[in-house]
Structure 1
Amino acid sequence: MTIERPWLAHYPAGVPAEIDVDQYPSIPAMLDESIRLYRDRPAFSNMGKCITYGEVETLSNRFAAYLLGELRLKKGDRVAIMMPNCLQYPIATFGVLRAGLTVVNVNPMYTARELKHQMVDSGASVILVLDNFARTVQEVLPETSLQHVITTGLGDMLGFPKGPIVNFVLRYVKKMVPDYDLPSAVRFRDTLALGARHELPEVSIGPEDIAFLQYTGGTTGVAKGAMLTHRNLVANMQQASAWVGGNARPGEEVIITALPLYHIFALTANGLVFTKFGAKNILITNPRDMPGFVKELRREPFTAITGVNTLFNGLLNTPGFDQVDFSKLHLTLGGGMAVQRAVAERWKKVTGVTLVEAYGLTETSPAACINPMDLAEYNGSIGLPIPSTDACIKDEDGNMLPVGEVGELCIRGPQVMKGYWNRPEDTAAAIDADGWLHTGDMAKMDENGFFYIVDRKKDMILVSGFNVYPNEIEDVIAMMPEVLEVAAVGVPDERSGEVVKLVIVKKDPALTAEQVKAHARANLTGYKQPKIIEFRDELPKSNVGKILRRELRGD
C-alpha cells in the first residue's frame, strides 16, 4: 500500500528522498573507508588521550584476531561489552564487528539481577567489563553461559604515567573499584598483545548478519534484545548522514559524546555517523559530574553535541557553561526524550545554535524523524521522516488516520529491526504484516508532514474520561524560572479515575506548591491541573538521563 509523503516537499535542500542502503555491506566496510580517508586524523579522545583512525584499525583488528584466534569464537557468537565511554569501547566494538560477531551492549550500572537476565537471554559467551563493575559479573557468572571474562581499568589505554595514576586513584583513593575475584579473567591490554600474534582471517559479513543485540528498556515488562543487523545500522547511518551532511564538514568535525555509546542514540549518531564523517569523538566518561564536564568542554572548540533534555538542562544550570567557546558549534541534536521548549529556547540564547529535536527507538536503529537542520528555532515537533522512511498514524484497529488526528505512530523503513531475539510473539506484536513498527507513542501529523509526539500510550493520564498528556503539563511547569526539573504522572483517584501529580526539583528554594498551582491555573484547563505537588531533591532517571515516570508512579 503506497502512502502519501507530504514531508518530502519540506525536506532541506540537498536531502534525497531515498538513500543507498547497499553502499556498504557492513559496518566494518564503512569503517575501512573512513580509515582510508582519515588515517592520521584523531578518531576518539578520552581524558586527554587521543587515538587516530589508523590506531583504531590496528587495535580493533588485534581484538578481533584475539576473539577468533585465541578464543575460537564462531560467526554470530555474542560478546557483551559493559563499560562507560572510554577508549576501550570503540576498539572492542569495532573489533567484535570485524570478527563477524554480535555486540551485546550492557549498561554498566546494571544490578546483578538485570545483568543475569541479559546474559542468559542473549547467550553471550564473552564479556568485557570495566574493573569498577566486575563485582557484578562475578555475582552472576555461574548462572550464565559466559565462558570468558575480559577486564580493564579506566586508565588502561591512557598511556604512561597517566593510565596507572588514574587506575590507582580510582581504586585506592576514590574507592570506586569494589574488590572482585575472577581468577580466569584476562586483561584487555593482554588480549591486544595476544591478538597481534594472529593473522586476522578474511571474515564474510553480510547485510542480514546481526551486528548488535540492543536491549530495550523493558518498559513493557522484561528487557528484550532488538536484533539490529548490519543493514539496519548502515541504513540509519546513511539516512542520518544524508540529513546532517550538508551541515557537516568531513574531516573537520569535533563531536562531544556524553551520552553512553552503549545506548543506541550515541552509538549510531556519534559512533557511526560521525565516524563516517572522519570526526574526532570526545568521549565523556562521567557526564553526571557537570562541573568536570563543563571543564572538558572548555578544552577545545567543538562543532557538534548530542544529548537528552536533562543533559542540556544540566549544562545550562552549571556555572561556567556560558563561558564555553561556542564559535564553531553548528549542530545540537536532542533525542531520547521530549525536548522542553524552555530548555531549547535557553540553549539557543546561550550557544546561538538551535537545539534540533529528533525521534527514534532502539527498534529503529534509532533515527526515524529529525527536524530540518536549518530550523530557525524550536518548533515542538519531532521533525520529518528521514530518507527511505515512511511514517503514519494508526487507530486501535490499525486504520490510518488523517492529518491532525491523534493515534499510534508507526514507522517503516530499512532501519527497522529484524525482530526481538528469541521472541517471535513479541516481534509479531510490534511489527505488523505490512512491515509497520508500532512504536507505542501517541502522535499526530500536520499537513506539512511534521510529526508531533503527544505522549507514550503508557504515560497517558485519564482524568474523568479526558486524555491528559504529561509532556504538555511538564512543558508548562518548566516555563517557571523557579523550576529546575519536573515530571508529571497520573495517580489513582476515587472520583476522577486519575489525577495529575507533579514531582518538582526546585531551582529557587522559596518556590511553593501554591505558586505552581497558580501558574498551572493560568496555563492549563481544569482537568489538566495538578492536584498533588511533591518536591524532591532529584528525579529518578535512566542511564541516559530519561526521567523514569514509572518509578514516580510506583509501577
Structure 2
Amino acid sequence: MNSVTMNDDVTGNETLWTLMMSWANTHGDSAFAMYTEPPYTEGSSTTIGWTTAAETTYELRQRLGAVGVAEQQVVLLALPNSPAAILTLIAVAANGAIAHTIDPDLGFLSLTSAIDATHPVAVVATTTNAQAISRAIASSTRNPALFVVEDPSMQRGSSSISGLPETRRTPYDVGPDEIAALLPTSGTSGPSKLVELTHRNYVTAGNRLVRNSAHGVGDRFYACSPFFHTNAQMYCYMPALILGASISIVPGFSASRYFDVARFTGVTVSSMVASPMRMALHRATEEGRAIDPGALRLIQYGQQLSSADWALWDRHLPQVEMRQVYGQTETVSIVLAGAPWEADDRRTIGRPALGIDAVKLVDETGRAVDTGAPGELLVRGEPGRTLMRGYWRNPTATAAALDTDGWLHTGDIMQRERNGRFVFVGRRMHIIRRAGENVSSYELELLMQNCPLIEDAAVRAEVDEALDARIVVHVIPSEGFTESGFASWCRESIGKRGVPDAIRTHSSFPRTPSGRVIARELDTAP
C-alpha cells in the first residue's frame, strides 16, 4: 500500500489560483468580498463576486506577465487592506512571482530599504503613497515599474490599476511549492526578516484554521487588520478561500466603527489582537448605547484583556464567543488554540492545534522542561508546508530558527499546565508590542540614527494600559533639535509606526565598556 503524505492529504496540491477558480466555477457571482471605505456608513459597501474576482485576477496575471512578473521575481505591494490587495497578491503568486507585502504607510527611508532588499520588478502603490514610492525608487539601486491602484474596490476590473501595460501575456500555472509571498517579521535583535511562504503554506494555514475553529461556508470573515500582517492574510482571507465563504474588507481598523461595520456587512467571524479589541470595546461603551454586533458569533484573539475589560465585555457582548489562539508568521497559522467545545478561560491559550506535528517547551540548554515550568516553545513541522520555508536570502537566520530535526524555535516562553493547556509567559526577544503591533526597538534605533537633529537614539518601552506599551525614545540632541521637529522627521522618514509616544533628551547615554547603551539606566541619566 502506498503511503499518504501531507503533500496529497492536506493541501491537495492546490494553489491560491486553483482555489479561486474552483469556487468561481461553483459559486458564480455570489459574494466573494464586500468592501467598505471610510466613513464606514451602512449602504456604502461595494461587492465583488467570485466569478468577477477570478476574471479580474486573470486579467491582472496577463498584464503583469507582460512586464516580467513571473519566475519568482518579486513584486512589492504597498497596499492597504482592499480587494485590490488580495486580487493582486493572488495574480502575482499565480504567475510564479513573489508578492512582498509591506506597510503602505512606511516613510521614505523604509520604502527605499524595502526596494533594495528584494529587487522588485514592479511596485504596486496607491494614490496616497505613490509620490513617496516614486521618490524611493529614484533613490534606490533598482528601477522597478510603478503601478497605482486608483480604485481599491476593483469595480473597474484590472483598469482599476493605472500604469499596467495593455499588452498581455498568457501566464503558466504555478506549482504549490513555489514561494507565493514574503511577509515581514517585526525584527528581534536585528532588522525585520522576510518570511518565505509557499502556496502550500497558505493552503495549510487556511485548512488548519477551518478545521480547528469550526468555520463554515456561511461565515463571513472580517478583514480589518493591515494587509501585510499574517492576521489579515492567514486568519481572514485564507479560511474564506478554503471554504468558498466571503470576506468583509475595510482599509484599516476603526475602533469607533468596528462593531457597526461588522453588523451592517454581516460579519460572523473576526480575528483580533487584544489592544485594538480593547480600543473597540472602550469606544463603543463610551457612546453610552447598546452595542449591536449583528451576526458576529466568534472572535479569535491573541494576548489577553484585563479583568476589568473582560467584565465590560461580558456586560455588553455576552453573545460573542471569544477564543484565544497563538501563532506566528513563521508557523503560518495557529499553533495553540482552544477547541470549539471548550469555554475560553481567558488565561490559558489552549492545546496544540490539529495539523501541528508536535510542540515542546525547552530550557536554555535545549532540555524539555517539566509541566508547569517555563520554557521556550518549539514547533515541529515541514518547511514550505506546515512551517515557513525560511527567511528570504538569510540562511543564517533560517538555520537559527529551524533546526535540522524540523523544530522551529519561536523565542516565546510558555508554561504547560496539567490539563494540557498552555500559558503565554512572555517574549524572550526585545520586541515592543504597541496597539497590537510588534515593533523592533533595534530597527527603530537604526532608522532614527539617520535623523540630522540627533546624535544618537535609544528606544525603550513603558507599560501602558491602553496600548500595552508606549514607545519612549531617548535622544542626544544635535543643533536645531526640537521634539516636534524630531517627531515630524520620524513620521515622514520611518512612518507612523516610528513616531514615539514620548521623547526624552540626554547629554550622554550610560554605556558598557564595549559601547553598548545600558537601557535600564536611561531613566536616571542626565
- In the alignment, is residue 353 of structure 1 matched against residue 320 of structure 2? yes
TM-score, scaled relative to structure 2: 0.75
- What's 1:147 paired with? 144
Task: Quote the offset at 1:236 in angstroms.
Answer: 1.7
Residues 1:310 and 1:505: Cα distance change in structure 2 (over 3 Å): closer
The percentage of counterpart residues that share the same residue type is: 21
Shift of 1:36: 2.5
Structure 2 residue corresponding to 1:32, chosen from 21, 25, 50: 21
- Where 1:318 maps in the other structure, the secondary structure is helix
Please give the residue correspondences for 1:26-175 in structure 2 after superposition, counting only pairs within 5 Å: 26-47=15-36, 48-68=45-65, 70-142=66-138, 143-154=140-151, 157=154
Instruction: Say which of 300, 313, 334 aligns to 1:367.
Output: 334
Aligned residue for 2:137, secondary structure, equals helix
Equivalent residues of 1:24, 1:30 under 8 A apart? no
The CA deviation at 1:433 is 1.9
| Structure-2 separation of matches of 1:256 and 1:53 | 17
SS of residue matched to 1:356: strand
Alignment of 1:385-396 (within 5 A): 385-389=352-356, 390-396=358-364
- Distance change (3 Å), C-alpha of 1:377 and 1:370: closer
CA contact 1:303–1:328 (8 Å) conserved in 2: yes
Alignment of 1:273-312 (within 5 A): 273-288=239-254, 290-312=255-277
Q: How many angstroms apart in 1 are the aligned matches of 2:359 and 2:501? A: 26
Match of 1:230 among 177, 199, 212: 199
Give the equivalent residue in structure 1 for 2:280: 315
1:200 aligns with 2:197: no
1:378 aligns to what?
Answer: 345
| Residue pair 1:284, 1:293 contacting (<8 A) in 2 also | no
Aligned to 2:448: none
Counterpart code for 1:219: T
Report the Cα distance in structure 1 between the residues aligned to 2:249 and 2:165, rounded to whole angstroms: 24
Match of 1:14 in 2: none
TM-score w.r.t. length of structure 1: 0.71
1:139-538 paired onto structure 2 within 5 Å: 139-142=135-138, 143-154=140-151, 157=154, 188-190=160-162, 194=166, 198=168, 200-203=170-173, 205-245=174-214, 248-250=215-217, 252-288=218-254, 290-319=255-284, 323-326=290-293, 328-335=295-302, 337-351=303-317, 352-389=319-356, 390-413=358-381, 414-458=385-429, 502-504=463-465
Q: Which residue of 1 aligns with 2:481?
A: none
Counterpart CA distance in 2 for 1:454 and 1:402 is 15
Could you give the per-residue CA deviations for residues 497-536 of structure 1, whole angstroms, max 9, x where no partner exists? xx99644459xxxxxxxxxxxxxxxxxxxxxxxxxxxxxx
Rate the CA distance shift 1:74–1:458 in 2: closer, same or farther, 3 A: closer
Q: 1 CA distance for matches of 2:371 and 2:76?
A: 44
Residue 150 (structure 1) shift? 0.3
Corresponding residue SS for 2:93? helix
Contact 1:410 1:437 in 2 (8 A): yes
**Structure 2: 5+ residue runs without aligned partners?**
1-5, 37-44, 439-459, 468-489, 505-518
Amino acid at match of 1:311: P
1:313–1:343: 8 Å Cα contact kept in structure 2? yes
Which letter does structure 2 place at the counterpart of 1:36? N
> CA-to-partner distance for each residue in 1:432-452, whole Å, 9 max, x for gaps?
121111111111112332111
In structure 1, the residue matched to 2:483 is none
Give yes or no for contact 1:444–1:454 (8 Å, CA) kept in 2: yes
Decide whether the 8 Å contact of 1:308 with 1:339 is kept in 2: no
- Look up the equivalent residue of 1:43 and give its one-letter code: F
**How far 1:132 moved relative to its partner?**
0.8
CA contact (8 A) 2:75 2:123 kept: yes
Deviation at 1:324, TM superposition (A): 4.5
Distance 1:550 1:19 in 2: 53
What's the secondary structure of 1:453's corresponding residue? strand
Aligned residue number for residue 3 of structure 1: none
In the alignment, structure 1 segments of 5+ residues that lack a partner are 1-16, 164-185, 461-469, 475-483, 488-498, 507-539
**Aligned-partner Cα distance in 1 for 2:502–2:428:** 13
Residue 112 and residue 379 in structure 1: after superposition, are their counterparts in 2 closer, same or farther (change >3 A)? same
Task: Call closer, same or farther: CA 1:340–1:40 in 2, change over 3 Å.
Answer: farther
Query: Residue type of the partner of 1:402?
Result: D
Change (3 A) 1:376 1:417: same
- Structure 1: distance between partners of 2:99 and 2:396: 23
CA distance in 1 between partners of 2:137 and 2:25 (Å)? 40
Q: Name the CA distance, whole Å, in 2 between partners of 1:361 and 1:334.
A: 13
Letter of the 1:393 counterpart: L
Contact kept? 2:301, 2:322, Cα under 8 Å: yes
**Preserved contact between residue 272 and residue 300 of structure 2 (Cα < 8 Å):** yes
How many pairs were matched up?
A: 441
CA 1:46–1:395 in 2, change beyond 3 Å: closer, same or farther?
Answer: same
Partner of 2:283: helix, strand, or coil?
Answer: coil
| 1:157 Cα deviation from its structure 2 partner | 3.2
**Is residue 405–residue 445 contact of structure 1 (8 Å, CA) maintained in 2?**
yes
Alpha-carbon displacement from aligned partner over 1:350-384 (angstroms, at most 9, x marks no partner): 22223211111111113222222233233312222
**Aligned CA distance change for structure 1 residues 200 and 391 (closer, same or farther; 3 Å):** same
